[in-house]
Structure 1
Amino acid sequence: MTQLAYQSAWQFLIYRLWADNSLEEVIVNELHFLREATREPEKLMRCIDWKRKEGGEKEGKEEIIISKWLQTLGKFLFYCRLRNEEYSVLVESIVQAFRAAKDNYRDIVSQCVESFSYSVNNRNVKVEDFLKRGAVSLIFEEICRPTLNDEIISESLLFLMNVSEKLKEEEEDEKERAKRKGLKRKAFEKMEEEGYEDIIICFHERFDFLNRGRFGVLSLCISDYFVNV
């Protein structure tokens, strides 16, 4: 199978994700897409003369295929709903292509930015994946260039806006978790103060028939009774 046919086969599968999420387990865990999707672009990047000006000669097949891979990575990170720690490795692959292409291959840069813009919308891709792998800093460098491409700058600003929104959401989630933890602590202290622990144990001993019936086994742990906290 040629490199282009191999990439096209993966692209076909990834584009099917929006309609059939059952493919996620197969693509990630059985076909090992994450491994292939990092190895193939790295191999292609070694074949491209990044110092040559874009448009100076006929576009090589490696440049065409790597653009397609970048598009596929962005779509995968957008569609896939499985949380996987290796997503950050895919982000790094896009970052590496961005760094290599930023001076002379603006079409590839455009594809990288578009891939970032897609992937940041996936809740399972964490903001820290973009921060630690250098995606955010590259986008800031891009919008500070003396000459700007309207399409690239539009996608760059959209990416930064979504990163900002995700940071706010994570901050709110963290505050909510801290609030719930505080409520549980107060409830636990109140139950200890009122002697509810002794009551629970008492019920557990006196109503043994509950444990033999449909109610299952009553827990002796107070925190198990915090249904709404």
Structure 2
Amino acid sequence: MKKEKDGKLLIDLCECYISLSNDFSSECLSICVPCLLKVASNKERHEETQKEVEMALLALSNVRCCVVEQELYLGAIKEIIQYHQEHHNLTRLAYQSAWQFLINRLFTDKRLEDMIVNELHFGREASRELEELSKCVDWKREKAEEEEERGKERGEELVIWRWLDAMYDFLYSCRLWNEELAGVIGNVVSVFQASRDNRKRISNQCIYLFKRAAENVIMKIDVLLDEGVVDLILEEMKQSTLKDGIMFESLQFLKNISRKLKEKEVDKPEEEKRKAIKRKIFEKMEEEGCEELITSLYRVISFLNRKYWYCLSTNISDYFVGV
């Protein structure tokens, strides 16, 4: 009984340390990571066990921006993800947390790219989870409803936000592409359209993700065009002001698209394809009435990109709206 009690105490201490700390020592991680992964590897379906697994994986998902040696986690986290893909034994939050822990490792270990993209199919899994979670949320319902119902929905919305955050981190770190990633972009567009009226935190996160996608060297412009991202950004620009930050993110998106379109292709068919995409984007801008807006603001983008862009004169917001 004492051994069991000491084991539970160690698990609690590991969860508290990882959840509350911002600076992880390698010595503590060498104890905490294997301990929590052992808990998370429990495949029993009892509700209490599932909660313990969820807590362990949620704690592990907080391990960011630090080196964790592969031998401490790789075999276990890979088995946890693959077992869930076959048997669906984890809660939605637990499954997302398992992926978040693995995506966080990409910051310091690029050797994981092929396994994440092609073996564990991050694009496919993120796309499916976003689609299924979106069906569980009543997007039209106002926030101020019964507390009990609101709490349940907040849980689903939180997991959606966490998948968007994981995708943002993935696009920051990964330079490997497969076609499954295009499906994620399409589902993020759907989430944005559903959340834009009543769930601003989620819709804003979608915009940040689109900007990150346009920055990523692996992201293809035709994917952003075909999945409706360019249309969405142009539409948002007409409704935003500098005050909510979305105008800035949208301008950055278009600046990154512009940079990609200027890159020269050695391959002639690819160059022709690029020119066709460029024509399509310019036509869309003209249709939306954004052509003059982009031209007028092109010279101030670098200024807006500075650290203190939030401190701009309020008069410039009127200028944005006027244009």
TM-score clears 0.5: yes
Matched pairs, number: 173
Superposed CA offset, 1:171-206 (max 9, x none): x22xx445xxxxxxxxxxxxxxxxxxxxxxxxxxxx
Give the Cα–Cα distance (whole angstroms) in 2 for the partners of residues 22 and 142 of structure 1.
37
Q: Distance in 2 between matches of 1:95 and 1:10?
A: 21
Change beyond 3 A, Cα 1:150–1:10: same
- Counterparts of 1:157-196 in structure 2, within 5 Å, are 157-169=251-263, 172-173=264-265, 176-178=266-268
What are the ranges of 5 or more consecutive residues in structure 2 without an aligned counterpart? 1-89, 269-323
User: Match for residue 56 of structure 1?
Assistant: 144
Please give the alpha-carbon distance, in whole angstroms, between the structure 2 residues aligned to 1:94 and 1:120. 14
The separation in 1 between residues aligned to 2:190 and 2:229, in whole angstroms, is 9
Query: Which of residues 84, 88, 92 is equivalent to 1:3?
Result: 92
- 1:127 has 2:221 as partner: yes
Structure 1 position 136 matched with structure 2 position 224: no
Structure 2 Cα separation of the partners of residues 62 and 148 of structure 1: 30
CA contact (8 A) 2:177 2:218 kept: yes
* CA RMSD of superposed structures (Å): 1.8
Superposition pairs of residues 24-173 of structure 1, within 5 angstroms: 24-53=113-142, 55-57=143-145, 58=150, 60-145=154-239, 149-169=243-263, 172-173=264-265
1:146–1:37 distance in 2 versus 1, CA, 3 Å: closer
**Which one-letter code corresponds to 1:43 in the other structure?**
E
Bigger CA drift: 143-152 or 16-25?
143-152
**2:127 and 2:183 in contact (8 A); partners too:** yes
Q: 1:12-23 residue pairs with structure 2 within 5 A? A: 12-23=101-112
Supply the distance in 1 between the matched residues of 2:126 and 2:231 (Cα, whole angstroms). 23
The answer as to whether partners of 1:77 and 1:87 remain within 8 angstroms in 2 is no
Identity of aligned residues (%): 48
* Counterpart-to-counterpart distance in 2, 1:79 and 1:135: 21
Letter in 2 for 1:77: L
Q: Retained in 1: the 8 A contact 2:139–2:195? A: yes
The TM-score, its normalising length taken from structure 2, stands at 0.51
CA positional deviation for 1:83 = 2.4
Residues 1:64 and 1:167: Cα distance change in structure 2 (over 3 Å): same
One-letter code of the match for 2:205? Q
* Partner SS, residue 22 of structure 1: helix
Aligned mates of 2:222, 2:138 — CA distance in 1: 31
Confirm or deny: 8 A CA contact 1:101 1:109 kept in the other structure: yes
Distance across 2 between alignment mates of 1:10 and 1:151: 29
Computing the radius of gyration from Cα coordinates, the structure with the larger value is 1
Which of the two has greater helix per residue?
2
Letter in 2 for 1:103: D
Residues 80-120 of structure 1 deviation map (CA, whole Å, 9 limit, x = unaligned): 11121222111111111111112221111100001111121
Q: C-alpha displacement at 1:148, in angstroms? A: 6.5
Cα distance in 1 between the residues matched to 2:96 and 2:243: 28
Counterpart-to-counterpart distance in 2, 1:22 and 1:150: 38
The CA distance in 1 between the partners of 2:203 and 2:236, in whole Å, is 9
Which amino acid is the alignment partner of residue 132 of structure 2? Answer: K
Structure 1, unmatched stretches of 5+, are: 179-229
Q: TM-score scaled by structure 1?
A: 0.70
Contact 2:124 2:184 in 1 (8 A): no
In the superposition, relative to structure 1, how do residues 113 and 32 fare at CA in structure 2: closer, same or farther (>3 Å)?
same
